[in-house]
């Protein structure tokens, strides 16, 4: 029963009642384990890209693109909630929306409802609905738990159909995403750039967001000093209305800065108290020491990207909005950047990608940026490639994370933006991109101001940043994330073999990715099998205990029945003896004298008559019958 207690302690619960029954001469101790449904388990997908719970931004659910790099964008309209609401509330609203926020709108530690793994979660869910058979006996309660567990295990297969359906949809969307990316990559730079313009409108929600922003700006303008703790809006050249600036292709090169600025304003504004007093995000407070560092990285983007055309998508050097960003913007914003870079799945770094990143409203470019460890990512980028490798892996060097290929080679674009030192060519670009994205965890609760340097695995493990970020990710999940596998571990494990093989063959995957996929699938399958095996073993043990208990009860019953039979036999003997005496007391011989019971006996004949015969004849008769029986 201890097993059961611990087993249920994971997600559900057992109400343990000890009942003492008195059944006549028996006392039976019954351990009643009442099944309590485990707490509602959130979707496993919530774990995938969970973001900080403190994020004040509403993260949209993962769009149909299916890729990892399409989550976490800002929905400015979703922030038309109470401006005074704390960021935690906003995040809670996101999580409470009933949608699987795969883009990282919540603390994964909260999203994960306990130590249950994927299979256990499924089992626990099944156990909630599993009927509990009514069984009797001293071990029936144990069997109830047992059968409930069994049904939970069997119940897991009921989800497979839906999962396969969702998997196929996701796979299609992923393929479509790749196709779209390829199409975009084939376009000239200008065309790709042009193609991103409409997305600006979407990104900012066009007219939907503009009124609110205008209202905010008006509200800010109403301030006598036009300032918010050093944020001088008067120095911020907003090209007309924000919507105009965003929708105008003429202002395309300031889109990014504007986007950031608007988000900053929105973010800052949402922290405004009803009395228009500015409240700083506590996370931002903690990140303030990083500001000089951040600022230095964003000061001269032209130097950051030599030989590239990225400058057009970067905030101008003298853009006051950039100063606003670097000095007063909540540094949580840049965690989103890291998240986006982590989620990036395109192949090459080029101008198109950068423009898409900065302009594409539906992508991670939400620039809704809520991050607290931007400096960490920047520093990682500045680190040597080997360091990036170490930091990127986050686990043993089973997989060389630097060798990312296939469809998932999209570099971390924003790393380019932030880095100001190490880029002297595309090779360096890609190398750093490939590496530093792996260790970026969107859910890192706080940033670390110390420069990133992970000389070894031990130090990497010691890093609180990684500990917090990876704590809720299994090894395979980290591996898959690191290699940009666009499927969750659960999907990889549960998808049919045909789908799995089609994925392996349809997409250009590196050997590393294929190996990782196969390993994840094998380990996942075996993990479930081991869980089932242990449950079966426990089932067998419990059944045996149940059988032992039943047999012991049956033995006691038989003992009681035997005692009762012996007692009845004795009573019958006594009654027979009394009847004998009564009969002989009434018998008289021919002379009227009483018949001696020691010399005579009563014998029933075949016809039912009763004869009184001497015991000698009875004895001889018995001998003759015995002899006849022997002869026969």
Partner DNA sequence: GTGTGATGTCATGCG
Partner DNA sequence: GACGCATGACATCAC
Residues that bind DNA (CB under 7 A): 2-3, 6-7, 10, 115-117, 119-120, 474-476, 497, 500-501, 519, 521-534, 536-537
- Closest to DNA by CB, 529 vs 551, is 529
438 or 600: CB nearest DNA: 438
CB of 345 to DNA, least distance (A): 24
Instruction: Supply the minimum distance, in Å, between the C-beta of residue 300 and DNA.
Output: 44
Smallest gap from residue 49 Cβ to DNA (A) = 20
To the nearest whole angstrom, how small is the minimum distance from the Cβ of residue 561 to DNA?
37
Nearest approach, Cβ of 471 to DNA (angstroms)?
Answer: 9
In angstroms, what is the minimal distance from the CB of 376 to DNA?
23
Of the pair 120, 410, the CB lying nearest DNA is at 120
Q: What is the DSSP letter of 362?
A: T
Nearer to DNA, 105 or 117 (CB): 117
**Residue 611 forms beta bridges with which residues?**
603
DSSP sequence for 27-52: EEEEEEEEEEPPPPPPPGGGGTT---
Q: How far is the CB of 494 from DNA (least distance, A)?
A: 9
- Residue closer to DNA by CB (options 497, 604) is 497
- Matching residue, tokens 């990876």: 470
Handedness of CA 379, 319, 286, 203 (dihedral sign): negative
The 10 Å Cβ neighbour count of residue 43 is 15
Task: Give the burial class of 609: count Cβ atoms within 10 A of its Cβ; 0-12 exposed, 13-18 middle, 19 or more buried.
Answer: exposed
Instruction: Provide, rounded to whole angstroms, the least separation between the CB of residue 499 and DNA.
Output: 10
Q: Helices in 13-107 by DSSP H: which ranges?
A: 87-95
Q: In Å, what is the CA distance from 532 to each residue of 120, 123, 208, 524, 538?
A: 10, 10, 52, 12, 10
Nearer to DNA, 16 or 560 (CB): 16
Q: With both helix axes pointing from N to C terminus, report the angle between 140-155 and 2-9 in degrees, rounded to the nearest 10.
A: 40
Handedness of CA 156, 157, 163, 167 (dihedral sign): positive
> Which CB atom, from 413 or from 494, has the smaller least distance to DNA?
494
Whole-angstrom distance, CA of residue 405 vs CA of residue 339: 20
Nearer of residues 118 and 388 to DNA, judged by Cβ: 118
The rounded distance, in Å, linking the Cα atoms of 276 and 279 is 9
- Residue 466 tokens, joined: 């990684």
């Amino acid at each position: 029963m201890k097993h059961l207690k611990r087993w249920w302690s994971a997600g559900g619960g057992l109400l343990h009642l000890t009942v003492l029954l008195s059944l006549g001469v028996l006392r039976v101790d019954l351990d009643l384990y009442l099944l309590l449904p485990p707490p509602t388990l959130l979707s496993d997908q919530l774990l995938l890209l969970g973001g900080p719970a403190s994020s004040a931004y509403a993260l949209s659910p993962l769009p149909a693109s299916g890729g990892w790099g399409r989550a976490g964008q800002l929905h400015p309209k979703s922030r038309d909630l109470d401006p005074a609401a704390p960021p935690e509330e906003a995040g809670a609203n996101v999580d409470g929306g009933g949608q699987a926020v795969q883009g990282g709108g919540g603390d994964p530690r909260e999203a994960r409802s306990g130590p249950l793994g994927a299979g256990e979660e499924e089992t626990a869910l099944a156990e909630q609905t599993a009927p509990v058979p009514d069984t009797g006996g001293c071990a029936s309660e144990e069997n109830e738990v047992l059968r409930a567990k069994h049904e939970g295990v069997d119940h897991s297969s009921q989800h497979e159909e839906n999962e396969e359906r969702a998997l196929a949809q996701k796979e299609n969307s992923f393929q479509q995403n790749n196709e779209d990316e390829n199409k975009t990559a084939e376009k000239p730079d200008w065309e790709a750039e042009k193609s991103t313009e409409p997305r600006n409108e979407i990104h900012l929600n066009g007219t939907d967001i503009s009124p609110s922003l205008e209202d905010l700006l008006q509200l800010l303008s109403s301030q006598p000093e036009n300032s918010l703790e050093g944020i001088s809006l008067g120095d911020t050249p907003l090209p007309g209305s924000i919507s105009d600036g965003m929708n105008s292709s003429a202002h395309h090169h300031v889109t990014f800065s504007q986007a950031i600025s608007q988000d900053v304003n929105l973010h800052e504004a949402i922290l405004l108290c009803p009395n228009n007093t500015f409240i700083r995000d506590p996370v931002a407070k903690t990140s303030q020491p990083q500001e000089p560092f951040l600022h230095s990285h964003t000061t001269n983007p032209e130097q950051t990207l030599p030989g590239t055309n990225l400058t057009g998508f970067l905030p101008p050097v003298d853009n006051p909005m950039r100063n606003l960003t670097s000095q007063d913007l909540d540094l949580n914003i840049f965690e989103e950047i890291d998240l986006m870079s982590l989620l990036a799945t395109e192949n090459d770094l080029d101008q198109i990608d950068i423009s898409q990143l900065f302009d594409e409203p539906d992508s991670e470019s939400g620039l809704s940026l809520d991050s607290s460890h931007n400096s960490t990512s920047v520093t990682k980028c500045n680190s040597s490639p080997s360091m990036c490798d170490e930091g990127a892996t986050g686990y043993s060097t089973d997989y060389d994370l630097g060798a990312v290929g296939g469809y998932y080679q999209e570099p971390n674009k924003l790393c380019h933006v932030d880095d100001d030192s190490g880029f002297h060519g595309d090779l360096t670009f890609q190398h750093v991109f490939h590496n530093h994205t792996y260790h970026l965890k969107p859910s890192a609760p706080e940033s670390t101001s110390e420069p990133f340097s992970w000389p070894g695995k031990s130090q990497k493990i010691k890093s609180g940043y990684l500990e917090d970020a990876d704590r809720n990710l299994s090894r395979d999940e980290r591996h898959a994330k690191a290699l940009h596998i666009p499927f969750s571990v659960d999907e990889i494990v549960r998808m049919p073999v045909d789908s799995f093989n089609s994925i392996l063959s349809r997409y250009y995957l590196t050997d590393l990715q294929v190996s990782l996929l196969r390993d994840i699938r094998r380990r996942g399958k075996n993990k479930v099998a081991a869980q089932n095996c242990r449950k079966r073993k426990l089932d067998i043990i419990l059944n045996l205990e149940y059988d032992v208990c039943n047999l012991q009860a049956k033995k006691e019953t038989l003992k009681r029945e035997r005692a009762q039979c012996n007692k009845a036999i004795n009573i019958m003997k006594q009654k027979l003896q009394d009847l004998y005496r009564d009969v002989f007391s009434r018998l008289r011989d021919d002379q009227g004298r009483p018949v001696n019971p020691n010399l005579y006996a009563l014998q029933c004949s075949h016809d039912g008559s009763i004869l009184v015969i001497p015991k000698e004849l009875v004895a001889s008769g018995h001998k003759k019958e015995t002899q006849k029986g022997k002869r026969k």
